Structure 1
């Protein structure tokens, strides 16, 4: 079973605590807050009926660590209802970047891109995968939307998901080495929106964002990590971003009736 690396010795201890793990209170209240997000999804269906309609293009949704397509079901059904051709990853439980998962995602993107560029939506580790797919095949990807994805963390395992990672590692099939640190890489090649929450109890929110640019942005929401796929504001952001026309990217602006639901960045 793979071992988890220690905090790098050259990282200041105080900075390390902030960078490696979210606060313990946020972590312990994740299940309760996720239940609130799910309840909000049920209560906010009327509000979400006003979300921008889709243009029918293909959307691939990738689940987080330890999750399956079942976890992204509500999000995918919501997007299907808006008019998109939505697909789950179809690779079972996400246990990390195994050879099976890496090759499976590449093959699936190649197949779907035969009908036109694909938008990628990834939850947590699924978003890290989505960004890597976009870097490898930018010509096949229309845009990437990440939901609480720690793509800017030097090692994604340095989070509150360590117990889950250790459990799943029993079934782990080694895959490709981890990608280089985000800050050392070329500019991201396609439009990207990073959705993050300062109250994320699983991954440090600073690892889920990057410098903004002409086609890159970070959108703050009030959500638990486990509730991203059910949170009404998150679903609205995803719908709004997917509805953008190719070549006409604009930063996200909350609709007037929902502006107070979005925290300051």
Structure 2
């Protein structure tokens, strides 16, 4: 479905709501902290483009309070898919796996979701599940057409001179649905990424897409995201099931979950 230029501009302008999402997150997160139920398994949160672990600290702090062992990726700012950074991150995945005694969850925000999917496709035995937040993984890393903002697209290309062989290799790992439970959380009013590129259309029964009302920039401090993680993280890899919300919950939370067989909503 084509999106008009005026609508794209509107979506970019309302990214400012990330500030309000942060305020709501601060107010509501104690409710989920009080329901501590985490099993202590490892969770790695990978930041988005130009972001670092500082910008995911609030989310990781909440996950630790909920009873998980949440860590950052430890690679500074995320400038793009790069071989050396990928290998360093894989070492951290192995370390956290050994430290916590089992497969870990990967949470990738925006470009961080590219790393999360690629890591899970490379060594799935180390991964319990993958959750992406506003990540346009259905795109070629060479073309980067999924980036809605022209300025962000130009900056990405400037920082990532095309090495077609290397980028094509990672594109395959990113585009392929991981062989572990996978959830894509996205918003149709995303001002940075094309939401249609954030929907996984896999035939797999361990894959789901969840639409929420959110900004792209506010995904890591959005109360709805924290609520979803509260529901998703306790699931075991071997008996994972897609999230199913009742009608009342769907209306109250303004979110929709669906598989590739469902028709994606037009706006959120």
What's the TM-score, normalizing by structure 2? 0.82
Instruction: State yes or no: 1:261 paired with 2:246.
Output: no
Find the residue that maps to 1:55 and give its secondary structure: coil
Cα offsets for 1:223-246 (capped at 9, x unmatched): 000000111011111221111123
Q: Which residue of 2 aligns with 1:12?
A: none
Find the residue that maps to 1:27 and give its secondary structure: helix
Q: Which residue of 1 aligns with 2:266?
A: none
Find the residue that maps to 2:51 and give its secondary structure: coil
Cα distance, 1:46 vs. partner? 3.8
Q: Which residue of 2 aligns with 1:47?
A: 31
8 Å CA contact 1:22–1:201 kept in 2: the answer is no
Q: Where does structure 1 lack aligned partners over 5 or more consecutive residues?
A: 1-14
Provide the C-alpha distance between the structure 1 equivalents of 2:161 and 2:76, rounded to a whole number of angstroms.
14
Q: Which has the higher helix share?
A: 2
Mean Cα deviation higher: 231-240 or 162-171: 162-171
Provide the C-alpha distance between the structure 1 equivalents of 2:7 and 2:182, rounded to a whole number of angstroms.
24
Find the residue that maps to 2:185 and give its secondary structure: strand
Q: Where does structure 2 lack aligned partners over 5 or more consecutive residues?
A: 258-268
Mean Cα deviation higher: 193-202 or 239-248: 239-248
Provide the C-alpha distance between the structure 2 equivalents of 1:250 and 1:135, rounded to a whole number of angstroms.
20
What's the TM-score, normalizing by structure 1? 0.83
Mean Cα deviation higher: 118-127 or 46-55: 46-55
Instruction: State yes or no: 1:100 paired with 2:84.
Output: yes
Over 3 Å counting, the alpha-carbon distance change for 1:183 and 1:164 in structure 2 is closer
Higher RCO (C-alpha under 8 Å, 6+ residues apart): 1
Aligned pair count?
Answer: 248
Cα offsets for 1:125-184 (capped at 9, x unmatched): 101110000000011111000001000123472213542454466655877314346898
